[in-house]
Amino acid sequence: MRMLVFGHGYTAGFLTPLLRAQGWQVTGTTRAATDRVAQAGAEPLCWPGQEDAVRQAIAQADAILISAGPEQGADPVLTAFAAEIAAARPRWLGYLSTTGVYGDRDGGWVDEDTPCAPSTRRGRERVAAEQAWQALASEHGLALHIFRLAGIYGPGRGPFAKVRAGTARRIVKPGQIFSRIHAEDIAQVLLASINVPRPGAIYNVCDDDPTPPEAVIGHAAELLGLPLPPAEDYATAEMSPMARSFYAENKRVSNDRIKHELGVTLRYPDYRAGLAALAKAERI
């Protein structure tokens, strides 16, 4: 079996070893990080650059994962290769989206049946990309699966480095809740779907414990035995527009479907389990 990953980055680096263990051959596109793709066990293709090789990989693929985000308001994979993917008709097609498509729910719960109502430009672009992939799938009978990912963390993307360096910030906005997901759990959700496809499915990919962001930073400091970073009021904190935009949406995301439909048991059901594993791996 052959998998093609468009945008073989951090998340795909956890999926590829699982696929290889099941006998898959994996090819991944990258702009320049060919060594990183190869280290994960995938054959790298530079894209843009090797378009003919990418077209050949599409034609041979049993499964295709789109891990590349929108660029300048359009999905780059659809722009470049929609016709080739439609003709190839892989048995599984996955698109990595974001829980940002739900917008702000004032701390309330959302599930996959909740209407999308994005409040940020990034969220609106993801909704547009989802709809474009759904339109292509509907027209050509493609086995599309959409995965709406919460905030991703994992090895190299935890809070420990900033806490150690004294640059971690506990921004406090009363009532603010974020959902998150460990990269290893994203990989096992994707693998479960690849093994048991359900064309048209949409899955929220998040852990069991939507949590105020300052609690995660505080727990990381506790694991390190370091002082708690001082609390900063969101209303007056100096933040970049990008950082502030993350606080514009407040919701709790349900993950019932990945458990009941895909049979997934999360390795890291909450941030405490995830941070404990990262701390152990980093020998803290």
Regarding predicted confidence, which is higher, 119 or 11?
11
List of long-range contacts for 127-136, beta carbons under 8 Å, 24+ apart: 127/101, 128/70, 128/73, 128/75, 129/69, 129/70, 129/75, 129/78, 129/95, 129/97, 130/95, 130/97, 130/101, 132/75, 132/78, 133/66, 133/75, 133/78, 133/93, 133/95, 136/78, 136/82, 136/85, 136/86
Angle value at C-alpha 281, between 275 and 284, nearest 5 degrees: 75
Model confidence band, residue 284 (pLDDT cutoffs 50, 70, 90): low
> What pLDDT score does 282 carry?
82
Concatenated DSSP letters of 8-71: --TTHHHHHHHHHHTT-EEEEEESS-HHHHHHHT-EEEETTT-HHHHHHHHHH-SEEEE-PPPB
Coil, strand or helix at 171: strand
- Which token pair is 250? 């407040």
- Which token pair is 245? 């935009």
- Which token pair is 163? 């806490």
> What pLDDT score does 243 carry?
85
Average pLDDT, the chain: 96
Q: Residue 75: what are its φ and ψ, rounded to 5°?
A: -80, 120
Q: Which of 34, 98, 36 is nearest to 66 (CA)?
A: 98
Out of 45-59, 94-108, 205-219, 239-253, least confident range = 239-253
Mean pLDDT score, 148-174: 93
| pLDDT tens, residue by residue, 163-204 | 999 999 999 999 999 999 999 999 999 999 999 999 999 999
> What pLDDT score does 172 carry?
96
Q: Residue 134: what are its φ and ψ, rounded to 5°?
A: -65, -40
Regarding predicted confidence, which is higher, 4 or 72?
4
| pLDDT tens, residue by residue, 199-245 | 999 999 999 999 999 999 999 999 999 999 999 999 999 999 888 88
CB 25 within 8 A of CB 84: no
- Which token pair is 77? 């994979």
H-type helices in the chain, by residue range? 12-21, 34-40, 51-60, 76-88, 121-140, 160-165, 183-195, 213-224, 241-246, 256-260, 271-281
Q: Which of 247, 120, 62 is nearest to 172 (CA)?
A: 247
CB 177 within 8 A of CB 251: yes
- The single-letter code of the amino acid at 185 is D
Angle value at C-alpha 152, between 147 and 153, nearest 5 degrees: 150
| Residue located via tokens 């300052």 | 214
Residue 283 clears pLDDT 90, i.e. is over it:
no
CATH number of the domain at 2-156+181-206+254-268, out of 3.40.50.720, 3.30.360.10, 1.20.1250.20, 3.40.50.620?
3.40.50.720
